[in-house]
Structure 1
Amino acid sequence: MHKDKNLKYEYKVNTNILIGKLKDNLILIMLEWSPRKRSKMLGKLEAEIKRNIIPIRPHRSFERKNNKSTQMANRMNKKRAL
C-alpha cells in the first residue's frame, strides 16, 4: 500500500466501507461460474477497497458531551414495539 512512502501516519482500510463492499459483492463473486470473470470481479473489489484507506491518528479519544435536550428529543426512538 503506502509502505514505501514517508507518511505522517500509519494507514488502514476503512472497515465500514470494507464490510459494505463485501456485503454487496462477495455473494456475486462466489456464484460466478467463469473463473476469469470471478478473478476480474475480485480484482475490482480489491481495488475499490484499497482506495478507501484512512489514517490512524494516535490519542484520538474525546469525551462525549452529555446533552439532555437531544436525549429528550429522541426518547421515542428506544420505545419497545410490543
Structure 2
Amino acid sequence: MLKTVLVGLISFFLISGLLIGIGHLFDIELLTFTFQENPSSGFWAEGSVIPFIIGLISCYFIGNYYEKRRQGSTKR
C-alpha cells in the first residue's frame, strides 16, 4: 500500500511540474504559475490550478493501474 501511495505522489509531482514547466517554456497562461516579491509591498502570486488538477486525476489513474498490476502479479 505504501508503494502505491508513493507512486501516486511521485506521479503527481512529476506531471504537475512538467505541465508548469511546459507552461513557462511556451508561455501558456493556463499552465503557468508566477510569483513576484516586492520588498515594499510584500509578494504577489498568481497561477492556474489546471496543472494540479490534471496531476491529481492522473495520479489517481496511475495509482489504480499500479495497484491492479501489483495485485495481478501476486495472484499467480
**Bin for the TM-score computed over the shorter chain:** 0.3 to 0.5
Mark the structure with the bigger radius of gyration: 1
Higher strand share: 2
The TM-score, its normalising length taken from structure 2, stands at: 0.33
- Structure whose residues are more often helix by fraction: 2
Greater relative CO, 1 or 2 (CA 8 Å, sep 6+):
1
